[in-house]
Chains A and B, each alone.
Chain A
């Protein structure tokens, strides 16, 4: 335990570890000292001069982001002096700022807008023309509006300290200084540059993908987990009109801190696909018949009776609850093999400045859990092949969320019953005897297990189309019909059922997961690879 230091901030007694900065100490009492250049994940140059606070006894205002606390210190972040400092600094920030908030993507979540609104002058006093830089395409996904920039250099420090590819710099000096790359070099070829858009406190760096797409105040933020690899980065899905508009990182110091990779950031269009399965469909010689869930499940139970042994194919993108329920159903049907396929990248893409984080070789969100329930990985590293035995299987074939795009026409022709649970219209759905529409991860609650066996929750961001239901609800109801315990009524129920049946998940409850997730018991070995 670090030595604690007692001080007074805005009249509140605070005890924080020695070495804490005033800015961080003020956060503990809910007092947010305005700042631009300071970011907890990077060095503090104390150059924005906005976090100047009054320290009693000090001859001049102190920058809160680099001044560490001292015993008995009395700090005022909201005194007349501190407010007038900030009002003055903010007026300087507006000397050249174009105030084009109505057409700026950052409007609504912009620190300059917020601070000036809260503490700035009501009217500008400037009479001089503003200097004009215009726009610069930095390559990749980044567009730079030089006039909006407040020269906090967060982006420069992110590239040099965190990504450690010093592509950005401050060019020229004084009034003419501007952020730029080496002439036309740009940011192309870097894998984490999307983060500079997140950390830009104003609208200087904006995403081309999100450019003029939605206003910040129209977006609903839902905590979720990235599915683009097994790292399990914490993200927020920003949605509007039941569509995911963009992905932003969500802070979790155990997994991804404040960062996510560009690949994950832009991999959201699949959640917005329109070609969804919306109702259970039974296929027979007389054609296809859409039906209600009750009829579909009754038909399934009827046909599966005496249908032979079970072989299941699960997608490693399925949640823990889905996989746990699938395992329970396969067991309830007399046991059988569960297979999954998972694409692997050739190399990891590490983030040098934050070693815990990398885009992992395992490109599936949940292959760890698939291993833990005893499923076997088959197929090649591009996520195809390996299903020959299932294709010709003469018993029951269950497919969960694997689109089977690489499989031949005769997949499942010999099966006594071929049930397909999926989200999208796919080759798999076109062949199955019974097609059951399930929700995508954005449309329901659940958990993923990442590469270090950390179980993390995600929440429901979108409304599911038509009659699509979570796979754990469908599979859980079938398990209950087979007489194996009660049907789950929530993702928490499904998780509890899983943790009671899968050894690796024993002892972890839904409540343990919290916002940062919980790591599974280390002593249980992982099967498979």
Chain B
């Protein structure tokens, strides 16, 4: 990685504090397991993790997550503007965004619950219902579809013995279709929690699931 200081890291605007190197920006804090407090403020609002351990009853925005929300808020001109990352945080902690979570996010950001509901339901990447430990999103858009994505979906559904959007009995898996995951060079692409699995074929599906179970239990 380069040690040349960043002039403008690009995602939240150069506010003049970026005498950071690429290593500091993309380094340990941001690759692999990121800390719950979100690392540097400039990255704290980026795509949240989907953790396999979901705690539907955990408090929102306390402790390290409070710290992270404050970092996120510091990067936006208004509290309303921080709604997407705040919802992302809520989903990271609880695994899905329930009406109660929307209400709490609205309270934290000083917005009306109805407005938060409108935003949360607009975006498909917020889970409005509980999902399994591993959320399996199979791309079925053009490139992946041509490479047999439908068979991959079927293989996942057969292995997990569920229908689309249902959670398997052991609580491990929820399989859904996703629109383009921007990995058209590696069809079929499957996103499982925060990770991409590329060039997936139906025969590999059981192996992936076994691996996940080992990881998840």
Contact = CB atoms under 8 A, between A and B. Distances in A.
Interface of A: 160, 165-173, 180-183, 185
Interface string B73-112: 0000000000000000000000000010011000000011
A182 B122 contact: no
Nearest to B120: A171
Contacts of B111: 166
A169 B118 contact: yes
B39 interface: no
Nearest to A183: B99
Most interface-central of A167, A171, A181 (chain B CB within 10 A): A171
A166 B121 contact: no
Interface in B32-80: none
Contact of A185 (B113, B118, B121, B122): B113
B118 A170 contact: yes
A183 B98 CA distance: 11
A165 B114 CA distance: 10
Contact of A173 (B99, B112, B122): B122
B112 A167 contact: yes
Interface of B: 99, 102-103, 111-118, 121-122
25 contacts: A160-B115, A166-B112, A166-B114, A167-B112, A167-B114, A168-B114, A169-B112, A169-B115, A169-B117, A169-B118, A170-B122, A171-B117, A171-B121, A172-B122, A173-B121, A173-B122, A180-B114, A182-B99, A182-B102, A182-B114, A182-B116, A182-B117, A183-B117, A185-B113, A185-B114
A273 B118 CA distance: 44
Contacts of B122: 170, 172-173
Q: Do most interface residues of chain B lie in helix, strand or loop, or is the interface mixed? A: helix
A167 B106 CA distance: 12
Given A169-B112, A169-B117, A171-B118, 15 more contacts: A166-B111, A166-B115, A169-B114, A169-B115, A169-B118, A171-B117, A172-B121, A173-B122, A182-B99, A182-B103, A182-B112, A182-B113, A183-B117, A185-B113, A185-B114
Nearest first, the 8 closest Cβ-Cβ pairs linking A and B are: A169-B118, A166-B112, A182-B113, A182-B114, A169-B114, A173-B122, A171-B121, A172-B121
B112 A165 contact: yes
Contacts of A172: 121-122
Nearest to A159: B114
Contacts of A169: 112, 114-115, 117-118
A180 B114 CA distance: 8
Nearest to B99: A183
A172 B121 CA distance: 5
Contacts of A182: 99, 102-103, 112-114, 116-117
A193 to B, nearest CB: 13
Contacts of B121: 171-173
Contacts of B115: 160, 166, 169
Contacts of B117: 169, 171, 180, 182-183
A208 to B, nearest CB: 20
A172 B102 CA distance: 14
Most interface-central of B102, B111, B112, B116 (chain A CB within 10 A): B112
B131 to A, nearest CB: 18
B101 to A, nearest CB: 12
A399 B127 CA distance: 68
A160 B113 CA distance: 12
Most interface-central of A172, A181, A182 (chain B CB within 10 A): A182
B197 to A, nearest CB: 28
A115 B137 CA distance: 44
